[in-house]
């Protein structure tokens, strides 16, 4: 490999004898399954996720963006036990907020890391302004958050859309970024010449025209697709579809529907494929090999494009390895974060309010 060192992972014997169905065939099988109707026990949910439990206390940073006063939600979790003087920032995916990072937070803090988990503006418990959404603003807002917390150096771990944001942050702020983990990213190619443009207004109208069943089934199918391996789906994963569905029952849903229509354009309007060659920090590209039919080749391309990057593919796993294969995921994450790392004396003192 030109610029990447690929570490082949071996599963336990019992897993090795399970032949994974090709991603395309499994995806067609999943789509053929009957989608459930909208559950009747879901109550209207806040568009700022106030009713969704977060694993640690949430604080807020006031910001002004595009002439609007907003606030950025975040968790700032101190190390448990002996601190190592280092901070990890976790960037969430497009269908999530910081609430789904409870496992990574606990593993990292037990290893002595301070962990900061922002909800980007437009997501999770942060404000939902109707503004242009792009990775430059997300990276800048994160930098402002770190400055407010007195944190001078961080390791960035970004999942899905957060993997795209990790690329932008690492390329834009190498003075702050000590290393980066691009974790099951989306935005693996520049899509602008592969599919036609769809306006936010058209996407918004289509969303608002959905029935309750159609809305729920769209969210459910999306989450179900994250776990393509046979037997990988667990009933508890449905909670993420329910979290996405609950705000559709709220009177504030039209605002969130428009916000979602705008930020879902981000992979089209703001591709990060041109950021990868400019990342100079130590980088790991990490993901499940079943995260889309071409994910292994595309992930290898990312690792080849980032100077000196490493690549780790987890066999028989889809889009969210920290849920589906936590033991392997945490082993590889910690191996990378702890390798040849010097502690920072400025970033591990715990939360500041």
Q: Does a structural domain hold residue 92?
A: yes
User: Tokens 């609007």, residue?
Assistant: 68
Q: Does a structural domain hold residue 349?
A: no
Q: What percent of the chain has pLDDT over 70?
A: 87
Q: How confident is the model at residue 340 (pLDDT cuts 50, 70, 90)?
A: confident
Contact 267/164 with Cβ under 8 angstroms? yes
Q: Mean pLDDT across the chain, nearest whole number?
A: 90
Q: Does a structural domain hold residue 351?
A: no
Cα–Cα distance for residue pair 344/44, rounded to 1 Å:
44
Q: Does residue 52 carry a pLDDT above 60? A: yes
- Hey, is 73 helix, strand or coil? strand
Cα distances (Å, whole numbers) of residue 14 to 8, 10, 321, 322: 17, 11, 18, 20
Q: How confident is the model at residue 353 (pLDDT cuts 50, 70, 90)?
A: very low
Domain that holds residue 258: 5-338
Q: Does residue 14 carry a pLDDT above 80? A: no
Residue-wise over 223-248: b if at least 16 C-beta within 10 A, else e?
A: bbbbbbbeebbeeebbebbbbbbbbb
Q: Name, in order, each residue with C-beta under 8 angstroms of 228's C-beta and a sequence gap of 6 or more.
A: 21, 23, 26, 27, 30, 290, 318
Cα–Cα distance for residue pair 241/251, rounded to 1 Å:
19
Mean pLDDT across 106-119: 98
Give tens-digit pLDDT for 202-245.
999 999 999 999 999 999 999 999 999 999 999 999 999 999 99
Q: How confident is the model at residue 334 (pLDDT cuts 50, 70, 90)?
A: very high
> CA nearest 264: which of 215, 216, 319, 201?
201
Give tens-digit pLDDT for 165-213.
999 999 999 999 999 999 999 999 999 988 899 999 999 999 999 999 9
Contact 128/48 with Cβ under 8 angstroms? yes
Q: Does residue 5 carry a pLDDT above 60? A: no
Cα–Cα distance for residue pair 255/178, rounded to 1 Å:
37
Q: Does a structural domain hold residue 348?
A: no
Of 92-101, 115-124, 285-294, 337-346, give the lowest mean pLDDT range: 337-346
Which residue stretches of 118-179 are H helix?
Answer: 135-148, 161-172
pLDDT of the residue at 343? 59
**Vertex 73 angle, CA 142 and 77, to 5°:** 80
Q: Does a structural domain hold residue 346?
A: no
Q: Does a structural domain hold residue 141?
A: yes
| Structure token pair of residue 135 | 């990775």
pLDDT top residue among 32 and 50 = 50
Number of Cβ atoms within 10 Å of the Cβ of 163: 28
Cα–Cα distance for residue pair 84/167, rounded to 1 Å:
25
CATH of the domain at 65: 3.40.50.1820
Q: Own/partner pairs for 168-171, CB < 8 Å, 24+ apart?
A: 168/135, 168/136, 168/138, 168/139, 168/272, 168/275, 169/91, 169/139, 169/142, 169/143, 170/275, 170/279, 170/281, 170/283, 171/275, 171/276, 171/278, 171/279
Q: Does residue 316 carry a pLDDT above 80? A: yes
Q: Does a structural domain hold residue 345?
A: no
Q: Does a structural domain hold residue 344?
A: no
DSSP single-letter state for residue 277: G
* The total number of structural domains that make up the chain: 1
- Hey, is 213 helix, strand or coil? helix
């Amino acid at each position: 490999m030109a610029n990447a060192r690929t570490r082949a992972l071996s599963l336990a014997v019992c897993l090795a004898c399970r032949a994974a169905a090709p991603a395309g065939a499994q995806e067609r099988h999943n789509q053929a399954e009957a989608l459930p109707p909208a559950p009747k026990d879901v109550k209207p949910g806040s568009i700022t996720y106030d009713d969704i439990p977060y694993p640690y206390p949430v604080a807020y940073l006031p910001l002004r963006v595009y002439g609007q006063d907003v606030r950025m939600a975040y968790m700032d979790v101190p190390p448990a036990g002996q601190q190592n003087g280092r901070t990890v920032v976790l960037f969430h995916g497009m269908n999530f907020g910081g609430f789904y990072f409870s496992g990574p937070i606990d593993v990292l803090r037990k290893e002595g890391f301070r962990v900061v988990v922002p909800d980007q503006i437009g997501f999770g418990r942060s404000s939902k302004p109707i503004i242009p959404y792009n990775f430059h603003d997300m990276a800048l807002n994160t930098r402002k958050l770190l400055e407010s917390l007195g944190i001078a150096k961080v390791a960035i771990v970004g999942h899905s859309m957060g993997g795209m944001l990790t690329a932008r942050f690492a390329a834009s702020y190498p003075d702050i970024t000590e290393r980066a983990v691009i974790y099951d990213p989306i935005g693996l190619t520049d899509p602008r010449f592969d599919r036609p443009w769809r306006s936010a207004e058209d996407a918004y109208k289509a969303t608002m025209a959905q029935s309750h069943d159609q809305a729920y089934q769209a969210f459910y199918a999306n989450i179900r697709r994250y776990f393509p391996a046979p037997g990988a789906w667990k009933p508890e994963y449905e909670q993420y579809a329910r979290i996405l569905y609950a705000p559709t029952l709220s009177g504030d849903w039209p605002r969130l529907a428009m916000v979602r229509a705008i930020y879902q354009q981000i992979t089209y309007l703001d591709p990060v494929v041109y950021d990868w060659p400019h990342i100079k920090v130590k980088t790991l590209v990490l993901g499940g090999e079943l995260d889309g039919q071409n994910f292994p080749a595309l992930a290898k391309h990312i690792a080849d494009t980032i100077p000196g990057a490493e690549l780790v593919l987890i066999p028989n796993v889809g889009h969210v390895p920290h849920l589906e294969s936590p033991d392997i995921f945490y082993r590889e994450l910690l191996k990378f974060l702890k390798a040849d790392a010097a502690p920072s004396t400025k970033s591990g003192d715990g939360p500041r309010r």
